[in-house]
Structure 1
């Protein structure tokens, strides 16, 4: 596993910003879905979501865009990420600027699941 990736559980791994050329490596590692939790244009030089999504489609990975402006998970982000986790048979790779937002959303999903609310 790439040292910049953080495995949260057997299904979900998070990381900081990826580039289109990273997608083949993510696909080769067995990930079926890539989730972007970062809004486009947040930082100069950041690849647009469309570039990542195109690379996903070319590599047999399902792209999902669930942007979050900060580390406070919205209901939309939690519900969307939870749905990706439920509906994906296999591994999910999520990224944002540093991986922190992805982990915050994952924590919120796990908390709601434990409470029977998701």
Structure 2
């Protein structure tokens, strides 16, 4: 698992699994956002990751975003999550790039 920090409050990663939650919590993250739809080939169902995250005391939100088709609604919902979840926040998708793109779109919409 490679975590790429964007700033003190936000980072991205590629696909994570329940086995990664301990390391994520140890890194100090307080919230996780899944931007990968469960229907994508190779995706680990978000509910398995969510269960492990909540057991570790982390907040978890599922905001599936289709790669290459980020909508204004996706940007608005991510903006709301970034404003309301305890930081630092780790967002993940297949490679982390979709999360980075979504984060940039949120920043540009402000």
Per the normalisation by structure 1, the TM-score is 0.86
**Which is greater in Rg?**
1
Q: Structure 1 stretches of 5 or more lacking a match?
A: 114-118
Q: Which residue of 2 aligns with 1:74?
A: 71
Query: Does the C-alpha gap of structure 1 residues 88 and 70 become closer, same or farther in structure 2, counting only changes over 3 Å?
Result: same
TM, length-normalised to structure 2: 0.92
Q: 1:6 aligns with which of 4, 7, 27?
A: 4
State the match for 1:24 in structure 2.
22
Alpha carbons 2:59, 2:85 under 8 Å: kept: no
Q: Which structure 2 residue ranges, 5 or more long, are not aligned?
A: none
Q: Distance in 2 between matches of 1:89 and 1:40?
A: 24
- What's the CA shift for 1:90? 2.0
Runs of 4+ in 1 over 3 A off after TM superposition: none
